[in-house]
Amino acid sequence: MALCLSASKSIVFNIICSNSTSDPFPSSSVFKSLKIPRFWPWQKVKMGPLTVSPMGFGTWAWGNQLLWGYQDSMDSELQQTFNLAVENGINLFDTADSYGTGKLNGQSEKLLGKFIREFPGDKQVKNDIVIATKFAAYPWRLTPGQFVNACKSSLERMEIEQIGIGQLHWSTANYAPLQERALWDGLVAMYEKGLVRAVGVSNYGPKQLLKIYKYLDDRGVPLRSAQVQFSLLSMGSEQMEIKNICDSLGIRVIAYSPLGLGMLTGKYTPSNLPPGPRGLLFGQILPGLEPLLTSLREIAQRRRKTIPQVAINWCVCKGTIPIPGIKSVKQTEENLGALGWQLSSDELLQLEYAALDSPQKMIQNVFQTK
């Protein structure tokens, strides 16, 4: 989820139905015929030794002044959003040691730790919270020990004893391939030391994903998750190849930016753009999204849902764990409404055809590897 973004990847038509006949969360044929909702908020899915909610929440905005306009005065509502999410069955929260701008670096982790400690609800519910944090591949992190120290620093910021999922935030294969092996060994070490319950990666393309999977597997460390930008704006051939690899290897796909930084909320138009850097990006992409936004709007009205709920539900139906960002009670309430129901196969196809008909796509993270 780094701020730097690169050119769009091409979309291949024949991949849009690649998951239509497979269900990564199996249910009986009777349940399917009755169209029982895939998930309710309090239902959970397995991720190795972890049991997590079918949707998590991202905390990129917590501490980020440049892109999301964070201020200390927001902390009270952020705590309310956290409590509301946990009270409604969400137990997966994604963060990173780089989240927070300038002097606020690490603020997201600090707030998460504070909110967990101060959560007023049931103790077991609190204990079941899974934090997935990402460790940046900074150029000065050159040894496994330095990467382990990064993990220890995150534990100290959050004031917890163990992290649920320790993730490598991005691969250095594109620009510093020699550093990559040390980072992988760092993941192995933090797992063996019991600092994390599971390990994952973020922004890994198909080739590098297979490489790190084998490297970790040879050392007895299972790769449990892979974060990738995945949404109706990011459903290209590479995303689907990653998804297929993960399904075959038992790796969970965590879908970040399921709302395309807000472009799939229906809130913005070419004449009504968000402030700051997002406005520049939205100005380039929104004019070409009308076919997709129209389909989202039609299905939302028919389903009596909102556009974001439909967009997030699409991610769930494709077998991923979406992690939309939250920074208000209203957002949290709305995002929770993405669970407990399921788009039909016809609706999925309608959205995917509309996405293909939309000439503009989400540009991909510059750190995404092949």
Catalytic machinery residues = 99
Name the residue among 325, 159, 350, 183 with its Cα closest to residue 258. 325
Angle at 120 between CA 115 and CA 126, to 5 degrees: 65
The total number of residues shown for the chain amounts to 370
Q: Are 137 and 81 in contact (CB under 8 A)?
A: no
Q: Identify the bridge partners of residue 269 per DSSP, sorted by sequence position.
A: 272
Q: Are 338 and 258 in contact (CB under 8 A)?
A: no
196 Cβ contact list (under 8 Å, min separation 6): 151, 162, 163, 164, 165, 166, 190
Distance, CA of 240 to CA of 358 (rounded, Å): 18
Angle at 107 between CA 67 and CA 330, to 5 degrees: 60
CA dihedral sign of residues 10, 15, 20, 23: negative
How many C-beta atoms surround the C-beta of residue 108 within 10 A? 29
Distance, CA of 34 to CA of 32 (rounded, Å): 5
Helical packing angle, 290-303 and 307-317, nearest 10°: 90
